[in-house]
Amino acid sequence: MAKDILISLLAVIIISLSFLTSATAAHIVGGDITYRFLSFNADSTQVTFEINVTMYRDNLSGGAIFDSGMDAFFGIHREISPDNWILENQVTGINPTTPEEIIANDDPCVDEPQGVVGVEKASYIFNVTLDVVEDNYMISYQRCCRNESISNLIMPGETGAAFDVIISPEAQRLGNSSPVFKEFPPIFICAGFPVSVDQSAGDFNGDRLVYSFCTPFTAGGTFDSNTQQGGDLRCCECVRPAPGLCLPPFETVQFRAPFTPLGPLGGNPVVTIDSNTGIITGIPESTGQFVVGVCVEEFRNGVSLGKIRRDFQFNVLQCEKEVSAIIDADERLDDASNTFVINSCGDTTLTLKNLSTEERFIQSYDWEFYREDQLIFEQSGGAAQKDAEVVFPGVGTYEGFMIVNKGIDCADSAYFLINMFPDISADYMFDYDTCVAGPVSFVDGSSTRGDRLVGWEWDFGDGEFSSLPDPDHQFAVPGLRDVSLIVEDNNECKDTMTQQVAYFPAPSVIVVEPSNFIGCTPSEITLTNLSSPIDSTYDILWDLGDGNFSTEISPTHKYLEAGEYSISLDIVSPIGCGISRSYGEWIRIKESPDANFDCFPDELNIINRTASFTDLTDQAGAWLWDFGGEATSFIQNPTYTFQDTGIYKVLLTAYHPITNCPDTISKIIDVKPNVTFHYPNAFTPNGDSSNDLFLGTGYYDGLVNYNMTIWNRWGQLIFETDDPREGWNGQEFNTGTASPQGVYVYKAKFSDPRGNDFLEEGHITLLR
C-alpha cells in the first residue's frame, strides 16, 4: 500500500514537471491491429498469421516518434477463463515501416485552415504461429500518451492507449483473416457542417461486417517520461508498459460529459455510425480534438468470428464551407457528373425537393427542364425558388439541371433524368374454405398502362413468400395475416396492396403423440398435440381418463393409480369450426413398489466403516443397491464396508415382482473422519524410555493446522511444535536447560479433515 502511494506521488511530481517541459510522450492519434491468415502446419494444430499493427501520430505536436526496434513490445496473450489472460509470448525488435504522411482534405468549396494539424502513419508487421486452441488469443500494443488538448476525455495528457485484436477459436480453426479498414478518417472535419466519413472495412473472406462506436482502451502513463531511464521502466504507469506485467483486460478511457463512447463527437444531429456501411454521419458542433473508437464485428453464417477496433482522433476545426447541389432522388449515378435519376409512375406532377448545402451560402436557385432539347420548364430566384413543382406533358424521359449560385464563386450544379412512366395498380382476390385446413388461393388482379407486368412479390405475413402471379399458400399456423402483393411492370414501376386474411380452420385430423403408452405409478405422460393448425386462440379440452381435464395444447399429466385410461380431445377454432377424437384404453399404468430401506449403525466413522442395510420395500421381487458409486449388490439385505471416510449417496432400486416396475430411494451415509487425540496429565523425562515425552496420543490421520505450546508458571513459552508426532522432553525447546519439576500449561489447536477446529488446554506435571 505504501509503495503504491509512493509511486502515485512520484507520478504526480513527474507529470507536473512534464507540463513545464515538453510532453515528449504525447503523440498518439490512433491505431488498429489486424491479422491475415498465412498457413496451417501439416495436421492443422498450429496456425500462422501475419500481424499488422498500424499506428498514427501527430507530427506537428513535437511529441515522440514511432517506437523502433527493442523499444516496441507486442504482447501475445491467451484467455484461459473469462477476462483472465496470461502472456503466451511477446514480440520485440520490430522496426516500423517508413512513416507516411496522411494527406489533408482538399475541397475546393471549403476554406480550410492550413498547417494546424498533421498525421503520420507507420506499421509494425510480423508473423506469429499459434497453437489452435479453444481459447481466445489477443495481440496487443500499449503506449502512452495522447494529446493534452483532447476535448472529450478526462485528463487526456495522462491517458495512454492500448490497441488489440482478438483471434477467436473459430477464427483459428477456419484460418480466418480479419477485416481491414479501407481508409483513415480525414485529417480534420468542419464544425457545424454535415460529415460523411467512410470507416468501412474490406474482408478477404466476404464475411458480414457490423460497425459500431465503442470505447477506446487506455494503458500506460507518464511515470517515467522525464526520468533518467527516459520511458524504459516498463511499469504499468510508464510510457511503454511491459506486456507480461500489464495484462488484459485493459481499462477504458474516461469520457468528459456530455460526450460518451456512443456519442464521442456530440453534434446536432448526433454524429453516429451506420452499422451496415460503416459511414459516420451527423453534424459536429464543437471544435477541438475528439477521441473516437470504431469496432467492426465479423460474422460468418451467423457466428461471430471476432472484431477489430480502431482508435483515432478527430480534429474538428472551424471552416468556411460553401455549397453542394443535391436533389432528393431515387438514384445518384455518380459523384463526378452529379446526376440524379427520378422515376414517377402515373403521376405527371412532380415536386422536386432541393437538399443543397449550405443554405446560408446559397443566394439563388436556377431550374431548367427539357424534352428532346425543347425547354418545358424554367424557374429562377432566391429561397422561395428552392424547390420546383413541375407538370410534365406526359409519359417520357426528361432532362434538366439545377444550379445554385449561378454566376458567382463556387457555384454547383445538379443534373437529372426524369422518367415519367404509365400508371400501375396492385390488386388481388383470395378464396378458401374457412373451416377446412387447406391452402388459400390468391389470384392477381393488378393492372398497368405500361407494356406488361413482369414481377410479383407476395408476402404472406408468416415468413413465407412467392413470386408466382397466382399462388396457393398453406398457412402452417392460424391467425390474422396481413398479406401484401408488390407488382412491378417493365418500367420498374411498383405498387403495393395489403389485405387481411383471417385463417382459423379446424385441423383436418387430430394427431396426438403420447410420450409413453405404458408407465409405472406414478407416471408422468406428455400428450403432444400434433394437430395443425391450432394455437392458443383455439378452445382445447382434454379428458385425461382419470377424472382430470386440461385446456393446454399439449398437457403433461401424472397418473397416480394403476389402470387403463381412455383419452379424448375436443378442438374448436375461434370462428366455431370443431373436431373431436377419442382413444379408448390408450394409456396403461402398471403398479410400482414403494422402495425404502434402513441402515445400521446410524453413524459410521473411520474406525467402523461397515454398515448393514435392511430392505423395507413394499412389494419387491428384485433389488439393485448402489453404494455411492463404489460397489453394487443384488442381495435384499446386504452388508457393505465403505473404502474410506466421506459422504456417500446410497441408492436402492426395487422392482415389483409382477410388473417389474422400479422405484428408487436414496439416503446419505456419512462415514466421519473422527480425530481422537488425548494428552496425559504427567510425564517423567528421566531417560528410562518410559513416559519420557509429553505428546498427544490417539488417531490423527488427516489432522491439519496442528500447533502445541508449553508454558511455565511465569507465562514464558518454553516449547512449540507443529508436528503432532513430536513431544516435549522437559528441556527448553528440547535442546536447552532442563525444566524443574512442577506444573506446566499446554495449549494445542488443530483442524480435522473436514475443517472443524479444536482447542485443547490443560496442565501437565513434570516429575523427575
- Take residue 337 and report the three cell numbers written for it: 457528373
CATH of domain 424-503: 2.60.40.10
CA dihedral over 144, 150, 155, 157, signed as positive or negative: positive
In the block, residue with C-alpha cell 382434454: 542
Spell out the CATH class of 676-766: mainly beta
Q: CA torsion angle for 74, 80, 85, 89 (degrees, to 10)?
A: -30
Q: Strand, coil or helix: what is 7?
A: helix
The topology under which CATH files domain 597-672 is Immunoglobulin-like (2.60.40)
pLDDT of residue 470: 97
Give the C-alpha separation, 27 to 146, whole Å: 6
To the nearest 5 percent, what fractions of the chain are helix, strand and coil? Answer: 5, 50, 45
> Does CATH number 2.60.40.10 belong to domain 331-421?
yes
Q: What's the pLDDT at 229?
A: 65
> Cell digits for 542?
382434454
pLDDT of residue 689: 85
Question: Is 401 in a helix, a strand, or coil?
Answer: strand
What is the spatial distance between Cα 695 and Cα 710, in angstroms, rounded to a whole number? 11
At 573 the pLDDT is 92
Which CATH topology does 512-590 take? Immunoglobulin-like (2.60.40)
Q: Which stretches within 313-386 are classed as H helix? A: none
Query: What pLDDT was estimated at residue 16?
Result: 33
Q: Minimal CA–CA distance to 278: which of 205, 355, 202?
A: 202
Alpha helix (H) ranges present in 236-374? none
**Res 676: pLDDT:** 77
User: Do the two domains 424-503 and 676-766 of this chain adopt the same fold?
Assistant: yes
C-alpha dist (Å) from residue 619 to 592, 626, 657, 663: 8, 20, 7, 11
Note the pLDDT of residue 3. Answer: 32
**Contacts of residue 16, Cβ cutoff 8 Å, sequence gap at least 6:** none
Tell me what pLDDT residue 317 has.
85
Residue 24, pLDDT score: 42
Provide the pairing of β-strand 303-317 with 189-190.
Answer: parallel
Residue 391's closest CA among 377, 401, 402? Answer: 377
pLDDT along the chain (768 residues), means of 10: 32 32 58 97 96 91 81 95 95 94 66 69 96 97 89 90 96 96 86 84 94 95 77 87 94 94 90 95 90 96 93 84 84 80 91 88 91 91 92 91 83 89 95 91 94 96 96 92 96 94 92 93 94 91 96 95 95 93 94 95 90 95 95 96 93 95 95 84 90 86 88 93 93 91 93 86 91
| Whole-prediction pTM | 0.45
Domain locations along the chain: 2-317, 331-421, 424-503, 512-590, 597-672, 676-766
- Apex CA 391: angle with CA 390 and CA 397, to 5°? 90
- DSSP-derived letter for residue 5 is H
Phi, psi of 174 (to 5 degrees): -85, -10
Return the pLDDT at 28.
84
Which pLDDT belongs to residue 112? 58
